[in-house]
Structure formats: C-alpha cells, structure tokens
Structure 1
C-alpha cells in the first residue's frame, strides 16, 4: 500500500496592501522589509498546493508571492516484500 506524505512549503508575499494580507487563508507573520508576509504551509499533495497557488493569484491579483517547498513528498511502497521510498521531485517553487 502506498502512503503519500504531505508537502511542507514556505510562503513569502510582497508588494500587497495590509487589507490583502488580512484575507490570506493561512496564518503567519507580517514582516516589514523586502517581504510583507511569511508563513509555513502544509499540503496533502501537489494538487492541493496548485489549488492554493490559484487561490493566492486571485486574492493577491498577481504573482507577488513565492511558494517554496522545503520538504518534498515521498511515497512508501512494498514491492515483492521489500519496502521502497520514492521522492517526488516534480514539485517546484513558484516565482514570478
């Protein structure tokens, strides 16, 4: 049986007003400097992360964010009695 582990990512947002930051669907820390906001975000898989990116683009009205995976998903399988783990390397950071 395969087990898919979640994806952990860091979200950085810049160049948006406070009213937009208040509407973000995640909790994090407001920053003052190059970036306006930082948060750790967890996803069940790559599809959930892509949906989150679409939501952010709509909410922020642009690409003024980076979503950077810091822990990739892994799949654990038992093949012919042996346990193997395969890393999914197709996860990419979004950046404008």
Structure 2
C-alpha cells in the first residue's frame, strides 16, 4: 500500500528543507511546490527519498523550483524519482544529489 502524500517542512534562516512522502502527481505537485516556497527563503533541500510515484506534474514542479532557486536547490531523490528524472533527461542536473 502506498503512503499518502505529505510534506514536512523545517526552516532555518533562509534555508528550507522539505521532506515529501507518498505520490507526487497532478493532485499533489502544487502542494509540494507551495511547501518548498515559503517567504524569505533563498535555499532549498527537497528530500524525495520517500516518494513512491513521480510523474510529469512533479517534473514540472521541479523545473519551477529551479527558477525560484537557480543555484541553491538540492534534490535528494528516491529510486523511483531518480528513474523518472533519468528517463526525462534530467538525471545529470547540478541540483540532483548523487547516490
């Protein structure tokens, strides 16, 4: 059984860490984006290690986040997210954490 979507947000100064659990799809991608974009934040760590499903809506949210955090975003992917990003041609992006 897949976990329900949730986000856990922790902020320290101008850095926010968002831990996402469950499925990121058309119904939840914007919620992930909103959690990752609080006011006054300049740096993002997006922890997707517990994401079980990730589709084009999730990719779109990531691309939007790269515009918001052009050089200060780190994404830590699950195996599922890594595979989707590799297939989409985004597996070598500087913001994507390596295993």
TM-score by length of 1: 0.39
Higher helix residue share: 2
Instruction: Kindly indicate whether structure 1 or structure 2 has the higher relative contact order, using CA contacts under 8 Å at least 6 residues apart.
Output: 1
1 or 2, which has the higher strand percentage? Answer: 1
